[in-house]
Amino acid sequence: MNFSKREQYAIVVLMLLMFVLLVINMFPGIVIRPKQGPFHNLDSIAAIHGEMLLNESTVASNDKFEIANPENAALEIKLHPFPFNPNKLPAEEWKKIGLNENQIKNILNYEKKGGKFFKKSDLQKIYSLTLAEYRMLEPFIEIPETILNRSKTQKIQENDSATATHQETIQKIIFELNTVDSLQLIEIRNIGPWFAHRILQYRRSLGGYLRLEQLREVYGMDSVKYLNFSPNFTVDPSNIVLLAINRLTFKEMIRHPYMNYNLTKAIINKRERQGFVKNWEDVVKLNGNDSISIRRLQPYLGYD
């Protein structure tokens, strides 16, 4: 761009003015000299302000009021705790500590109704006593060992009573073993979800329980558990599902806990070559003997 001489001159003048204004802004003392007043009054002003600050500090110290924590500061003014046992403490002593009439009345009413302070935190039961007040009184509370021991004994007795009641309730829970479900099983003490699953899984494998003693065959069941669990069950044999040995496949039949490989194979061969198994006598012949281990299978067999 081309500027005329007049325009060039105007640009130079503007730049000079901007430079002068910048220098004045950075160093105002060059142009404007501040007025200096007399200094003989400074000592008296400092003395007056110093005395005021000293008085304010004295007042704050005397009142013990903390601006950063006004609640605690107010409580330090109100409460004057000393070592005390809150049980049967006279109203006059509570007043000396700094509690108001309403708080003292609530404490005395609590004691009239049989309430006792067995431990320090029991004082928080007095609803008109704030948490901040309790925290300030707590270090000064002194409860004799006899009362503490009595509290522990009472808790033990209450726990024993609750346990006995719970056990009595458990003993009253009785379920029929072939119709009970998992939710009902876990109501019985010490039968958790996994053990309940095992009981039901073994019931499905058997086709149902014929006798209560079959619970001993459940995986993980020992004599102690059996003695604990057995009073909670009855057995109805009419609910069992029979093993249809003339219709099931080899894999389905061998799943039964009482069925062995050789007998299963013999039954399948007889069905294929000679026809259906008609009765228990046929089963005994196929097995080769009437052993105790095979005899427990008899009630579960169906010949349809």
Q: Could you tell me if 116 and 122 are in contact, meaning their C-beta atoms sit under 8 angstroms apart?
A: yes
What is the model's pLDDT at position 51? 56
> Which residue's entry shows tokens 């259906």?
276
In a domain, 150, yes or no: yes
In a domain, 235, yes or no: yes
> Is the same domain home to 115 and 125?
yes
Which structural domain range is residue 140 located in? 67-172
**What band does 178 get if pLDDT is binned at 50, 70 and 90?**
very high
Lowest mean pLDDT among 113-122, 150-159, 200-209: 150-159
What is the model's pLDDT at position 43? 55
> Is the same domain home to 76 and 167?
yes
pLDDT tens, 120-177? Answer: 888 888 878 888 888 888 888 988 876 556 655 565 666 655 555 545 544 567 899 9
> Is the same domain home to 110 and 166?
yes
In a domain, 8, yes or no: no
> Is the same domain home to 266 and 300?
yes
Final residue of a structural domain among 172, 205, 225: 172
Q: What residues contact residue 235 under an 8 Å CB cut-off, 6+ apart? A: 176, 177, 178, 209, 210, 211, 212
In a domain, 32, yes or no: no
What is the model's pLDDT at position 62? 46
> Is the same domain home to 72 and 168?
yes
> Is the same domain home to 124 and 77?
yes
> Is the same domain home to 229 and 304?
no
Beta-carbon-side half-sphere exposure of residue 41 (alpha carbons within 13 Å): 3
Overall number of domains in the chain: 3
Residue, of 281 and 21, whose pLDDT is higher = 281
Q: Could you tell me if 84 and 97 are in contact, meaning their C-beta atoms sit under 8 angstroms apart?
A: yes
Entry field: residues in the chain: 304
Average pLDDT over all residues of the chain: 80
pLDDT tens, 221-266? Answer: 888 888 888 899 999 998 899 999 999 999 999 999 999 999 999 9
Angle at 283 between CA 280 and CA 289, to 5 degrees: 105
What is the model's pLDDT at position 59? 44
What is the model's pLDDT at position 60? 45
Dihedral in degrees, nearest 10, Cα atoms 233, 236, 239, 244? 110
> Is the same domain home to 128 and 194?
no
Residue, of 24 and 246, whose pLDDT is higher = 246
> Is the same domain home to 134 and 216?
no
Please tell me the distance from the alpha carbon of residue 283 to that of residue 277, in angstroms, as a whole number: 7
> Is the same domain home to 229 and 262?
no
Is residue 35 scored above 70 in pLDDT? no
Residue, of 63 and 267, whose pLDDT is higher = 267
Cβ neighbours around 44 below 10 Å, total: 9
> Is the same domain home to 154 and 77?
yes
Q: Which of 226, 214, 182 lies closest to 200 in space, CA to CA?
A: 182
Distance of CA 225 to the CA centre of its chain: 29
Mean pLDDT in residue range 295-300: 91
> Is the same domain home to 148 and 187?
no
Lowest mean pLDDT among 68-82, 132-146, 276-290: 68-82
What is the model's pLDDT at position 202? 95
